[in-house]
Chain A
Amino acid sequence: MTSAARHSTVPPAAQAAAVAPAAHAAGQRTPLIDGIEKVTGRARYTADLPFGDALVGRILRSPVAHGEIRGIDTRAALAIPGVRAVVTGTDFAAPYGVIPIAQNEWPLARGRIRYRGEPVAAVAAVDAETADAALAAIVLDIEPLPAYFSAADARAPDAVRLHEKKAGNIEREVDQSFGEVDAGFETADLVCEETYHYAEVAHGQIELNAAVAAWEPEHERLTTHSVTQVPYYLHLTLAQCLGIDTSQIRVIKPFVGGGFGHRVEPLNFEMVAAALARAAGGTVKVLLSREDGFLTHRGRPETDIRLKIAMAKTGAITAVDCEIVQRGGAYGGYGLVTILYAGALLHALYMVPAVRYRGFRVYTNTPPCGAMRGHGAVDARHAFESLLDRMAAELGLDPFAVRRANLITPPFRTINDLQVNSCGLPACLEWVEEASGWKTRRGALPRGRGMGLACSHYVSGSAKPVHWSGEPHAVIHLKLDHDGGITVLTGASDIGQGSSTLLAQVVAEVMSLSLARIRVIATDSALTPKDNGSYSSRVSFMVGNAALRAAEELKRILVAAAAKRLEVSVDDIEWNGEHCLVAGTDRGLAFREVVEAALVDTGALSVKGVWSTPPETQGGKFRGAAVGSTAGFSYAAQVVEVSVDEDTGQVTVERVWVAHDCGFAINPLAVEGQVQGAVWMGMGQALSEETQYHEGLPLRPNMLDYRIPTIVESPPIAVKLVESRDPLGPFGAKEASEGALHGFAPALTNAIHDAIGLRLTELPASPDRVFEALVEVRRTERLRARAAAGGQRNAGN
């Protein structure tokens, strides 16, 4: 029979109505459902939205790093024709901050200025020129205070406090001890200690910050379009700072050009745009510059780490002692979470029996730090994996062996009460060892070329939400109407990671339907259920689980309707998506007929799926235990191959092999993209990225001096997806966007050591740092040789 003849057996009516045949959607390499808009230029980002003659909002920034505001004279600015509103800190009802117990930031500084570039006033005018003229006409009267640009200076005994209640400018001090730490050190065969220093880095998402706020004076209602990763936090914060009821606010997230953590916290310009819109009684568009982005910051803090590890001859870790100091910047933001993450994830990658951790988050007169991809755990991972490498060498163990000596076997509860239900790290190690040719190539490479290994892990969503409202962690709505299309309504922010595509795949998989039947409407607070947001890699796991449950509920309703129409029991229905059959017969209904049956008496169907993390995954009872807890840990191992030019200090990454345990890849194409992107972002921090300030003035607030790697220096990244099938993840899936980042930097510096025998304890490994470290090593060697020669001469005398 020809294929044409086979087609002719399908009734004509069914042919006309056919949507692509059912196939598995989960596990398929799936281009993004909103990808065509992106490659054709049709995708509208916040700055692209057509708002007609919206007013132009502009922000005035502080020229001093620390000072008391004696006065802000806005009269001349207001008098300029075309200026519609001027606002200052006193126009807001309350301060804000992403963590409810640490809200000490105003959208525009009030009373005190704490960093250079902090917003102090804002204007809305008919055009940019008028708005700029108005900013220039605002007169600031600021009494300067001593300013502190390093954690050490801010902690000095005589330092002025940035925030009244915070003695020593310590935002949060952590002091945790688990297990028999002293005994662990006493019984060890080898104890090593090292100090590390990490430069501050920034997210560098390519889309500039933007917000459009529309105020309807007659209704006293606000609609804000913004670049946010968490519309829900923004919604709450707009209400709080403007002193209006949440019901009068609508928050919409259009296409967003990357976030990487920059846009998790509500950001000052979002509240400023709203205040301007209210004051002007209209629509205000605030488009920020790249320099503004660096000042808004929320990046990874400058960090100092002192780490001591104790080990048995076998490579088994017996104890860990670590102190971490983070230069947090001027405000609370996510600070206390960052310093807790650093300690929680430092050791929980391995089976470690005893840990002491002290952490200090310090207020300084620099732009506020916050959450950045790999939140809190990246610098700590570098220190840990670097010291493991050194200790392996001292014990004569292979770097793989020392990791394998400390692996977790799930189910497992770490010493700091984190629950591990699945762990594919052994398979990750096997793959990178094999793929990189580690056993035969390492050690056989010429001088200047080397290979390094590191492991990493990360949470699939924080198990405890920031707001204790008692709501589920994730909610999904599905709508099915007469048209036979299923609409997924979600508050989850797709910021490029592909979350909307993943949710459509989950629904399609459960219902055995084609993606063509499914639309996703996301992140419009008037339409979509609240979501806790795109942070801590929570969406695939948590929202994916909610989508799975919603789809199961919708399928249950449809199966029941089909059974009723066919006058059989639901158990007799064989569900195949586009059609269903009475099992063992050729009687059945097309999907459209099932939908018609299901809508009788009820009309359009709306169903819901929810998901919450089980209590046992929510961490222990000690102070700060929530941070680091998750329903599913991802794992990764990577080998980096480098070449190092010893004459210039230039480090070139030749290749990367990375294996990531994502539980199950719902969209392998997107997971690969996420893993490559994470590894590469780790490379940027490891090789070249750093902010720099002079007396609080940013010296690199642009994309030339802040050196994000270009395509020229970006290596091939071979990815293996390991699927450990987590018992709680949707289809076994875990996170894939962050966990592979942490391992890059230590794998790089371990590779540099393999190449030229130099152990870098400072990042980034920029040519100047590598060269200076080499000069230092050579000088030490010379002095040692001279001393040895002198010793011989002395002995000869």
Chain B
Amino acid sequence: MAKRLLALTVNGRAREDAVADHALLVDYLRTTAGLTGTKQGCDGGECGACTVLIDGQPRLACITLAVTCEGRRVETIEGLAEDGRMSRLQRMFHEKLGAQCGFCTPGMIMAAEALLRRMPHPDEQAIRDALSGNLCRCTGYVKIIEAVRAAATDAG
């Protein structure tokens, strides 16, 4: 199988890895880069658990070929902490119980992170729109919305 050298930035760190042409970004991140915070919850593009940021935009790593990230900035849940401490958004997900089992959480937080960068003070409708591709089976989304709102309020 054909491989090529992939040069990209993952969580601010430059990497070069030999990657198969057909390798998915989610597998590259989890296996090659060892960043297992990005989850896979479906057979491709259904659940949003694998959401990462590519050049700041939320993307599904399970339907993105790794080689398409050549020269791009990829950010995962592991890259959000600041000086090793939870970011404000992460802290609000923790404190407001936006995470129960936690499996959808990395993708949910990355989708919310993209929203808050684009729109620091979103209303509830904007939060719902931004997270509409991320399924959660535990929370009923109520406390997820509270967490994102609280993060936005705090940031203000």
A206 touches B77 (CB 8 A): no
* Residues of A with C-beta under 8 A to B93: 39
State whether A40 and B97 are in contact (beta carbons under 8 Å apart), knowing that A206-B49, A206-B137, A702-B42 are contacts in the complex: no
State whether A258 and B103 are in contact (beta carbons under 8 Å apart), knowing that A206-B135, A711-B145 are contacts in the complex: yes
* Residues of B with C-beta under 8 A to A716: 142
Most chain A beta-carbon neighbours within 10 Å: one of B38, B80, B97: B97
Task: Check if A88 is an interface residue, CB within 8 A of chain B.
Answer: no
Task: Check if B86 is an interface residue, CB within 8 A of chain A.
Answer: yes
A40 touches B100 (CB 8 A): no
B40 touches A208 (CB 8 A): yes
Task: Check if B150 is an interface residue, CB within 8 A of chain A.
Answer: no
Least CB separation from B143: chain A residue: A673
B43 touches A35 (CB 8 A): no
* Residues of B with C-beta under 8 A to A31: 94-95, 97
Least CB separation from B131: chain A residue: A711
Task: Check if A101 is an interface residue, CB within 8 A of chain B.
Answer: no
Q: CB-defined interface of A19-46 with B at 8 Å, one 1/0 digit per residue?
A: 0000000000001101111111111110
A38 touches B139 (CB 8 A): no
Least CB separation from B34: chain A residue: A50
Cα A782 to Cα B97 with chains together (Å): 52
Least CB separation from A35: chain B residue: B94
**Stretch from A424-432, A460-468, A540-548, A677-685 forming part of the interface with B:** A677-685
Task: Check if A518 is an interface residue, CB within 8 A of chain B.
Answer: no
Task: Check if B73 is an interface residue, CB within 8 A of chain A.
Answer: no
Contact partner of B137 among A47, A258, A498, A702, CB < 8 A?
Answer: A258
Most chain A beta-carbon neighbours within 10 Å: one of B41, B78, B102: B102
A670 touches B97 (CB 8 A): yes
User: In residues 635-679 of chain A, which contact B (Cβ within 8 Å)?
Assistant: 669-670, 672-673, 676-677, 679
A290 touches B41 (CB 8 A): yes
Q: CB-defined interface of A469-506 with B at 8 Å, one 1/0 digit per residue?
A: 00000000000000000000000000111100000000
Task: Check if A82 is an interface residue, CB within 8 A of chain B.
Answer: no
Contact partner of A48 among B36, B42, B132, B136, CB < 8 A?
Answer: B36
Task: Check if B39 is an interface residue, CB within 8 A of chain A.
Answer: yes
Least CB separation from B101: chain A residue: A496
How close is B83's CB to chain A, nearest CB, in angstroms? 13
How close is B19's CB to chain A, nearest CB, in angstroms? 15
Task: Check if A552 is an interface residue, CB within 8 A of chain B.
Answer: no
Q: CB-defined interface of B125-156 with A at 8 Å, one 1/0 digit per residue?
A: 00111011111111111111100000000000
B99 touches A205 (CB 8 A): no
State whether A717 and B109 are in contact (beta carbons under 8 Å apart), knowing that A290-B43, A703-B42, A711-B131 are contacts in the complex: no
Cα A669 to Cα B135 with chains together (Å): 21
B38 touches A714 (CB 8 A): no
Contact partner of B102 among A290, A496, A681, A714, CB < 8 A?
Answer: A496
Task: Check if A378 is an interface residue, CB within 8 A of chain B.
Answer: no
* Residues of A with C-beta under 8 A to B30: 48
How close is B112's CB to chain A, nearest CB, in angstroms? 11
State whether A712 and B46 are in contact (beta carbons under 8 Å apart), knowing that A40-B90, A257-B101 are contacts in the complex: no
B129 touches A43 (CB 8 A): no
Cα A229 to Cα B84 with chains together (Å): 32
How close is B51's CB to chain A, nearest CB, in angstroms? 12
A206 touches B46 (CB 8 A): no
* Residues of B with C-beta under 8 A to A260: 137
Cα A669 to Cα B97 with chains together (Å): 7
Least CB separation from B45: chain A residue: A704
Cα A161 to Cα B3 with chains together (Å): 53
B137 touches A38 (CB 8 A): no
Task: Check if A797 is an interface residue, CB within 8 A of chain B.
Answer: no
* Residues of B with C-beta under 8 A to A497: 100
How close is B148's CB to chain A, nearest CB, in angstroms? 10
Cα A36 to Cα B105 with chains together (Å): 11
Contact partner of A681 among B90, B137, B142, B143, CB < 8 A?
Answer: B137
Most chain B beta-carbon neighbours within 10 Å: one of A34, A205, A497, A683: A205
Least CB separation from B134: chain A residue: A711
Most chain B beta-carbon neighbours within 10 Å: one of A203, A498, A679, A680: A680
A496 touches B46 (CB 8 A): no
Most chain A beta-carbon neighbours within 10 Å: one of B103, B105, B143: B103
Task: Check if A289 is an interface residue, CB within 8 A of chain B.
Answer: yes
Cα A256 to Cα B137 with chains together (Å): 13
B132 touches A207 (CB 8 A): no
Task: Check if B18 is an interface residue, CB within 8 A of chain A.
Answer: no
B104 touches A206 (CB 8 A): yes
How close is B152's CB to chain A, nearest CB, in angstroms? 16
B46 touches A676 (CB 8 A): no
Q: CB-defined interface of A231-249 with B at 8 Å, one 1/0 digit per residue?
A: 0000000000000000000
Task: Check if B47 is an interface residue, CB within 8 A of chain A.
Answer: yes
B103 touches A40 (CB 8 A): no
* Residues of B with C-beta under 8 A to A257: 39, 41, 101-104
Least CB separation from B145: chain A residue: A711
Q: CB-defined interface of A681-717 with B at 8 Å, one 1/0 digit per residue?
A: 1010000000000000000001110001011101011
* Residues of B with C-beta under 8 A to A44: 36
Task: Check if B119 is an interface residue, CB within 8 A of chain A.
Answer: no
* Residues of B with C-beta under 8 A to A498: 100
User: In residues 64-106 of chain B, which contact A (Cβ within 8 Å)?
Assistant: 76-78, 80-81, 86, 90-91, 93-95, 97-106
Task: Check if B35 is an interface residue, CB within 8 A of chain A.
Answer: yes
Task: Check if B37 is an interface residue, CB within 8 A of chain A.
Answer: yes
B46 touches A38 (CB 8 A): no
How close is A59's CB to chain B, nearest CB, in angstroms? 15
B128 touches A712 (CB 8 A): yes
Cα A256 to Cα B140 with chains together (Å): 18
A41 touches B77 (CB 8 A): yes
* Residues of A with C-beta under 8 A to B139: 673, 676-677, 680
How close is A288's CB to chain B, nearest CB, in angstroms? 10
B141 touches A711 (CB 8 A): yes
How close is A721's CB to chain B, nearest CB, in angstroms? 14
Task: Check if A204 is an interface residue, CB within 8 A of chain B.
Answer: yes
State whether A205 and B97 are in contact (beta carbons under 8 Å apart), knowing that A41-B35, A712-B129, A717-B142 are contacts in the complex: no
* Residues of B with C-beta under 8 A to A291: 43
Task: Check if A92 is an interface residue, CB within 8 A of chain B.
Answer: no
Cα A497 to Cα B77 with chains together (Å): 22
User: In residues 176-192 of chain A, which contact B (Cβ within 8 Å)?
Assistant: none
Cα A708 to Cα B134 with chains together (Å): 11
* Residues of B with C-beta under 8 A to A669: 97
Cα A512 to Cα B37 with chains together (Å): 36
State whether A708 and B135 are in contact (beta carbons under 8 Å apart), knowing that A206-B103, A208-B41 are contacts in the complex: yes
* Residues of A with C-beta under 8 A to B39: 45, 206-207, 257
How close is B122's CB to chain A, nearest CB, in angstroms? 13
Cα A44 to Cα B78 with chains together (Å): 13
A39 touches B141 (CB 8 A): no
Contact partner of B43 among A43, A255, A289, A679, CB < 8 A?
Answer: A289
Contact partner of A703 among B46, B94, B100, B138, CB < 8 A?
Answer: B46
* Residues of A with C-beta under 8 A to B36: 41, 44, 47-48
A42 touches B37 (CB 8 A): yes
How close is A454's CB to chain B, nearest CB, in angstroms? 17
B140 touches A38 (CB 8 A): no
Least CB separation from A37: chain B residue: B102
Least CB separation from B38: chain A residue: A41
B46 touches A702 (CB 8 A): yes
Cα A679 to Cα B35 with chains together (Å): 34
A207 touches B101 (CB 8 A): yes
Least CB separation from A256: chain B residue: B101
Nearest first, the 3 A-B pairs at minimum CB distance are A41-B37, A496-B101, A38-B102
Q: Supply 9 further A-B pairs (C-beta < 8 A) apart from A44-B36, A206-B39, A206-B41.
A: A32-B99, A36-B86, A36-B94, A39-B77, A40-B81, A41-B36, A41-B37, A45-B103, A703-B135
- The 9 sampled A-B contact pairs (Cβ below 8 Å) are A35-B102, A39-B77, A39-B90, A40-B78, A41-B106, A48-B36, A205-B103, A702-B43, A708-B135
> Which residue numbers of A lie inside 8 Å of B, CB to CB?
31-32, 34-45, 47-48, 50, 203-208, 255-258, 260, 289-291, 495-498, 669-670, 672-673, 676-677, 679-681, 683, 702-704, 708, 710-712, 714, 716-717
